[in-house]
Amino acid sequence: MKTPKKTTCRKNEYQKVSFDLKLSIIAEINNGQISANYASKKYGISRATLAYWTKKLSNFEGKSKAMSKNDEIKKLRDRIEELEFVKDFQQDIIADFEHITGEHLSKKYLPEALAKEIEKKRLNLSKESGSINASE
């Protein structure tokens, strides 16, 4: 009777994966860029490990998104403030032009709401220039 040869079991060698790589792999899977099976083959990581990372890192991503949402809100508010300043400046220029030339181009070419705002600015400008002329 032959005795079977002892075959040595191959011990799994585990690799350390950086936190950034974990996040990028999970992001690829969550965004639908690659499947979990393909990621498992591509990076040599078991599907169970990928599922574990997904579960654990979902909380981390939620916290980082909350912070980024606050940052995004702040940036958007700053942008709104900047655009309102630009809009007011442009309206002042249009009102000055209409006051000097006597043409009311805003009524012809701009939406009604903007035309009304410019009309108010033009009237205020004429009142101010009238009071300046009266004091001279």
Whole-structure pTM value? 0.45
Tokens of 32: 């639908």
Mean pLDDT of the chain: 81
Domain boundaries, the chain: 19-135
pLDDT tens profile 13-49: 667 888 888 888 888 888 888 888 999 898 888 889 8
User: Which of 129, 68, 74, 75 is CA-nearest to residue 98?
Assistant: 129
Residues 6+ apart with CB under 8 A from 46: 40
Rounded to whole angstroms, how far apart are CA atoms 31 and 54?
12
Rounded to whole angstroms, how far apart are CA atoms 34 and 120?
57
Tokens of 6: 């002892």
